Each structure stands twice: as C-alpha cells, then as structure tokens.
Amino acid sequence: MIVYRHADSRFPFLWEDADQPPARWHGPGEGPVQYFADTPDGAWAEFLRHEGITDESELVNVRRALWAIEAPDGLAAEEPRVAREVLTGGLDTYEECRKEARRLRRKGAVALRAPSAALRPGSAGGWRVEGGLQRAAERDGIVFAVFGARPDLVGWMAAFAGRPRSDLLTRVRQL
C-alpha cells in the first residue's frame, strides 16, 4: 500500500523520537506517530488545514516535499470508536481522539485508520484522462496514524519543493 505525507524537505519524512509536536492522535511526549494520507491531495490538505492557508495567493510561498511511502499491505490499522464529528472536528476534538489512540495502543494497536479531517467528504477523488483532464469519481479521504519509529518503511520523494493545486483549497475542511 502506498501512502503519502508532506514534510519540510530539510528533514526526514518520518519522526524518530518523542519530541514530535502533539497532534490529533498523540499528546506531548507520546510520539513518534507517523501520519499518512491515502492520496497526495489528502497529504496536502492536512498541510493547508494546519497552516490556515485559504487563499490562492498564499500558495506561492509553499515549498514542501511530498513523499510516497510504501506501508505494509497487511498493516493492521484499527478503526477508532468515536463519533465522526470528533474524528473530523477541530482542535477542540483532539483530546478525545488522543484518549482513543491511547486506548488502542494499550490494546496493542500499531496503527489506526480514520476519515480525513482535512478533506471535505467526497474530495479525495483523483483525476482521469478522457477528452482531457477530468475529475474522477468522488471518494472520502483516509488517514493513517502509525505508532512508533518505523525504520522499515521506504519512501520516495515525489516532489522536493512542491505545492498543491489551487483547486484543492475549496476541498479543505478548515480548522
């Protein structure tokens, strides 16, 4: 399975220690947790959402690496047992998500799978070519939070100083 993540091109594509800033699925000192999206647009949407980028003019300054990472096909990713509104909510929902991630980790989970909080429903569809470039069928985005350092994962830098297309801005669920 190939998953995607954005990163500052000066640094590796995975976290290796607990100094990682807290996020939806981990609190301070609970890292590393590796966050991945099932599509490149999902990875870009996460960046846009967390940076508060809403205007096309702000994209001119975006220069991020986009990584394609080979995750094990048999990655046992648990599904969190919290309401969809919490899974896709703003910063005020993070602590409930962290509690659920702690519960899953205590049970031995190595990863979790959840709907993308950054992409609006149906916004993870890609592209196809038929008389020119056309939007593919709508689908929902998925994110994976993989717990711990993962030196076994192999990544390929798909873009060194890339930025997302401006049409993605309308598909991002802002914080």
For 3-33, the pLDDT digits (tens) are 999 999 999 999 999 999 999 999 999 999 9
Q: pTM for the whole thing?
A: 0.94
What is each CA distance from 67 to 11, 90, 125, 128, in whole angstroms?
12, 25, 19, 22
The helix/strand/coil state of 49 is helix
- pLDDT value for 58: 96
The domain limits of the chain are: 2-171
